[in-house]
Amino acid sequence: MLDFKNLLVTCHTDFVGKNSTFVAIKGFKTDGFDFIEDAIKKGAKEIVFDQSRDISKISSKYPSIKFLPVENTRKSLALIASERLGNPHKKLKLIGVTGTKGKTTTTFLIEHLLQKIGFKTALLGSIKNKILHSEVQSPLTTLNADMLHAFFHECVTNNVDYVVMEVSSHALSLDRIYGVEFDIACFTNLAPEHMDFYKDLNDYFEAKSILFNQIKQNGHAIINTDDTFGEKLAIMLNTKKNKFSVNTYGQKKQNFSNFHQFTILQNSLAGLKVSIDHKELLSPQLFGEFNAYNMLMATLVGFTINKNLQLNIFEDFKGVPGRLQKHILKNGAFAFVDYAHNPSSFEAVLKALRPLSKHLIVLFGCGGDRDRTKRPMMGQITAKYADEVIITNDNPRTEDPQNIISEILPGIEGLIKLTIEPDRKKAIEITASKSNKNTVIALLGKGHENYQILGTKKIHFDDFEEISKF
């Protein structure tokens, strides 16, 4: 199975092998130009570099090495990596899901659906990467273009039919999927996120919209138009002459062609039942309004592929690790571990959990070295829904944990019963001790992660593992 050593084309010296092409990209922390000689010593025979840089001192030392100046190194990485492997993405059917919330659950649902129909699948996402039923370990959370095309090549080797992938705004802004065309592109929703990277929400939206310029002829766009930015995207696409169809859906009636209206019939711990186009769908493992949107998006993907899709297709869906992952404590309390880590996802998860109990305890923290503006907002949203709150560490990274906590407090202090315990393990113990058979616990922020980043050190830590002790 695939590993990422000795890539034919790469932007990282760790993956340079004999006769590799090394693309020197200037990153946010390091400059690939400074590692050109390291790449040559590791076996690189071709160097791709920004044409504005002076390469003369290096090129004069290595006359046998080919030096190729380019206008855009990130785009060149994507194009050259693809070309050297025979453009494997063109031999696959690709489904991309973008948006702020719901990408992971939606891709898992689509993968489940495709496998039930009988297709061979691969999955690329924030929780795991898979080819068929084997996980592919990656040294990076988000694949750069060099790794992405190596992944596609392995998919072709394994006769994969469909690749289902989360498409992040960073992947779009940094040209990681440049030149790749999708059979189906999906837009879940948009809310403030990565505001330390984008200048404002419209800038963030523009990044997400790039995906919809990369849909194949006769492909499909699927958009949630109950979301304000989804509606904006649908209007934008419908005013153009597109080579693909635009499919929209939501609970609110819209006048778009190919619009599908749905109704939630059941939303409880017993599962989620929805009606769309006078047909009913059920998933016993899902609940929450936001999951209705995820399930409907996956269903519409299914209908574009097979109009005779069986409506019981999600009845054996097992859920997603770290996405409202349920554990019943020995005292009868229900605990849910979820990756919610921004204001909009907090709102969605807590809104879903609030009706389930008269005693809701929420444990959370905020990540260090990340967008600070969302911290008091997350505290405020928690205070709106919870009966008790435990504030603890998330991944503080190199930031002072006490500073992070102090920036959460203005949104919550004085509004609700509050406990502060920076040690996340102890905080979970405290949370469990406060619960009873009528309690619902929400452990938010880390979800599927099995680590915690303290300073520059990564240690093993798993919320679900910890709460399962009780």
pLDDT at 138 over 90: no
Single-letter code of the amino acid located at 163: V
Q: What pLDDT, in 10s, does the model give residues 276-326?
A: 988 899 999 898 999 999 999 999 999 999 988 888 899 999 999 999 998
Query: How far, in whole angstroms, is CA 295 from its chain's centroid?
Result: 16
Mean pLDDT confidence for 53-61: 96
Domains of the chain: 7-72 (3.40.1390.10), 85-305 (3.40.1190.10), 325-467 (3.90.190.20)
pLDDT at 132 over 90: yes
Cβ(172)–Cβ(145) below 8 Å: no
pLDDT given at position 1: 65
Residue 200 CB contacts under 8 Å (≥ 6 apart), including other chains: none
Mean pLDDT confidence for 160-186: 96
pLDDT given at position 190: 93
Cα separation, 365 vs 405, whole angstroms: 7
User: Which of 274, 299, 103, 254 minimizes the C-alpha distance to 187?
Assistant: 103
Q: What pLDDT, in 10s, does the model give residues 18-41?
A: 999 999 999 998 999 999 999 999
Which residues are registered as beta bridge partners of 420? 391
Q: How would residue 67 be classed by pLDDT, with cut points 50, 70 and 90?
A: very high
Tell me which of 202 and 142 has the higher pLDDT.
202
Cα separation, 258 vs 353, whole angstroms: 33
**Number of other CB atoms surrounding residue 282 within 10 Å:** 19
Q: How would residue 381 be classed by pLDDT, with cut points 50, 70 and 90?
A: very high
User: Which of 357, 346, 223, 351 minimizes the C-alpha distance to 288?
Assistant: 351
